[in-house]
Chains A and B, each alone.
Chain A
Amino acid sequence: SQQGEEDPQALSIQEGENATMNCSYKTSINNLQWYRQNSGRGLVHLILIRSNEREKHSGRLRVTLDTSKKSSSLLITASRAADTASYFCATDAGSEKLVFGKGTKLTVNP
């Protein structure tokens, strides 16, 4: 089964609101990454957080990691219509694989 599982599966918000997505994983990891996919396109890397980090920021993105709970969250602040996309977490699952979850589909309404 897949290593990462995002929650919720779908999220619809208004422009200007914050969006929070969660990711849970099953095995020990070295790092966790978040990616974004615009409809029909390849995934694009957003941010990486190492297993010894608890929080990381990049622009309007804030990622947290709780290794004791095997979970991570991605917060997008002050969302824009252009943030509409699917968001995936990915882990190395402690191996040489790069495993993705099912993703959260975010819709930001103007």
Chain B
Amino acid sequence: DAGITQSPRHKVTETGTPVTLRCHQTENHRYMYWYRQDPGHGLRLIHYSYGVKDTDKGEVSDGYSVSRSKTEDFLLTLESATSSQTSVYFCAISETVGVTEAFFGQGTRLTVV
């Protein structure tokens, strides 16, 4: 299995609080992605990174920020969590984009109450 881990795996937080999710890889892959998965919407791209300190927005980036200070870590931050951000969040890594397969973490189930 590819070395990719997400933490925490589950989190319950209150509306308005900041939350940071971590994605850690041991594969030295260049690309890292954050997705959210909601019923009826499939996987939607939040942000992605194509290198250290190189990030860009996906289709649902409002309310989220990311940072990648090291190759192995990609952090997703909800500055002020809202109930609409209750979701399952997946991190993925790939060596190249679209040419080689992407490997997924096990997901983080976030509930904002």
**Residue ranges of A at the interface with B (Cβ–Cβ < 8 Å):** 1-2, 6, 29-31, 33, 35, 40-45, 48, 88, 90-92, 95-103
Contacts and interface: CB of A to CB of B under 8 A. Distances in A.
Interface stretch (B62-70, B71-79, B100-108): B100-108
Contact of B98 (A43, A91, A102): A91
Interface of B: 31, 33, 35, 40-45, 48, 50, 56, 58-59, 90, 92, 94, 97-99, 101-107
Q: A-side binding surface: helix, strand, loop or mixed?
A: loop
A35 B45 CA distance: 15
Nearest to A6: B42
A45 B31 contact: no
A101 B41 CA distance: 8
A98 B90 contact: no
Q: B-side binding surface: helix, strand, loop or mixed?
A: strand
A98 B106 contact: no
Given A33-B98, A44-B104, A96 B42 contact: no
